[in-house]
Amino acid sequence: MPRLTRAFFDRPTVEVARELLGKRLVHVVDGRRLAGLIAETEAYVGEADRACHARVGRTARTERLFGPPGHAYVYLNYGLHWMMNVVCERDGFAAAVLIRAIVPSEGLAQIRANRGGKPDKILADGPGKLCQALAITGADHGLDLCARGAALFFESAPPVEVIATRPRVGIDFAPEPWRSIDWNFIWPAAATRAATTPTSPRPSDEES
Q: For residues 152 and 143, is the Cβ–Cβ distance under 8 A?
A: yes
Q: What is the DSSP string of 9-39?
A: HSS-HHHHHHHHTTPEEEEEETTEEEEEEEE
Please state whether the peptide bond connecting residue 68 to the residue before it is cis, i.e. omega within 30 degrees of 0.
Answer: yes
Among 3.50.50.60, 3.90.1150.10, 3.10.300.10, 3.40.50.720, what is the CATH number of 6-196?
3.10.300.10
Q: What is the pLDDT of residue 161?
A: 87
The continuous run of DSSP H or E covering 45 comes out as strand 32-45
Supply angle C-alpha 7, 31, 37, rounded to 5. 50
pLDDT profile of the chain (208 residues), mean per 10:
96 98 97 97 97 95 95 94 98 97 96 96 96 98 97 96 96 96 96 55 32
The ranges assigned to domains in the chain are 6-196
Nearest Cα to Cα of residue 189 among 74, 58, 22: 22
Q: What is the pLDDT of residue 201?
A: 41
For 99-135, b/e burial (b = at least 16 CB within 10 A) is: bbbbbbbbbeebbbebbeebeeeebbbbbbbbbbbbb
